[in-house]
Amino acid sequence: MPEGENNTKKSAAENFGEMVREFGNALAEIFKNPKVREKAQEFAQSTGEAVQTFTNEFKEEEVKQKLKQAGEAAKEFGEKAAKEFGDSKEECSQKNDKSSRKSDFEVGIEKAVHWGEHIAARKDNHSKSTRVQRLVSYNVAIVWSFILLIFFNFFREYIAYYHYEIAEGVGQWIREPLLSTEFVAVLPILNIALILSILGNGILIVLDRYLLKQGVSIVLHVFSLAVILSFLRVFPFNFDLVPFPNAAQILRIILTIVFIIAAIGLVVGIIVKIVRIVITTIRLET
């Protein structure tokens, strides 16, 4: 046999032996027990030497053929093992991509939960605020509601346009009410809202509870919203008395915008307070 061919065959045999030894060493790294790992490495070393000796008995073409068959068998075994015990590399990467990419629905749920937790955290502010501060706010609300109740029922004509006139050398202030006679259509719902504000805040003075406060606030917000909608529907204002160009139209637009903004704020407030009640109730149950 030529020397070059012998060297080539020897190189192939040595390479295959090295592959077996490396494979055995890789398997040995799996075991954490030092004794087991040492035995596995010894087995790999002896197996590699045996394979090298065994392959020296074959011709180069036979070695290549056997190596090819061994490689195909190892590939087939690897595919079957991956299918049986776990996901393939592509499947793992696809799962990782799916787990890293969140749908809009999942993102929306996370934001809603975060928002709910943020709102529920307001309960802690209620418990941290002093009893005196809350009592002051309740009393201020009651006094203010009394003032408005008396004013709109007995002194509403003072919401007027005032101007100074001189007649026969005598000057006097002229008062022209801005509320029209249609205001009586709004007055009942306004009185109910103010009376409920007095009663609700009076209850909170006696029973200062977080959930009760939120419930009272929702009721008061609903009636306040009803008052604003009544003002928008009836609009009991007479701005034609204001003697400025386009004053009536401008004041009507401004007041309408103010009412709409206030209504939107009340709706948002109702939703927020409902969410607070739901989140707090869930926390108490858990």
What integer pLDDT is reported at residue 154 of this predicted model?
95
Query: Are the C-beta atoms of residues 270 and 255 closer than 8 Å to each other?
Result: no
Q: What are phi and psi of 177, to 5 degrees?
A: -60, 140
Question: pLDDT by residue (tens digit) across 138-176?
Answer: 999 999 999 999 999 999 999 999 988 887 778 888 899
Residue 196 has pLDDT above 60, yes or no: yes
Structure tokens at 240: 């034609």
Q: Which long-range contacts (CB under 8 A, 24 or more apart) does 165-170 make?
A: none
Contact 51, 20 (CB under 8 A): yes
pLDDT tens, residue by residue, 19-55? 556 655 655 555 555 655 565 566 556 655 655 554 5
pTM for the model stands at 0.55
Write down the pLDDT at residue 235: 94
> In degrees to the nearest 10, what's the CA dihedral of 208, 213, 219, 222?
140
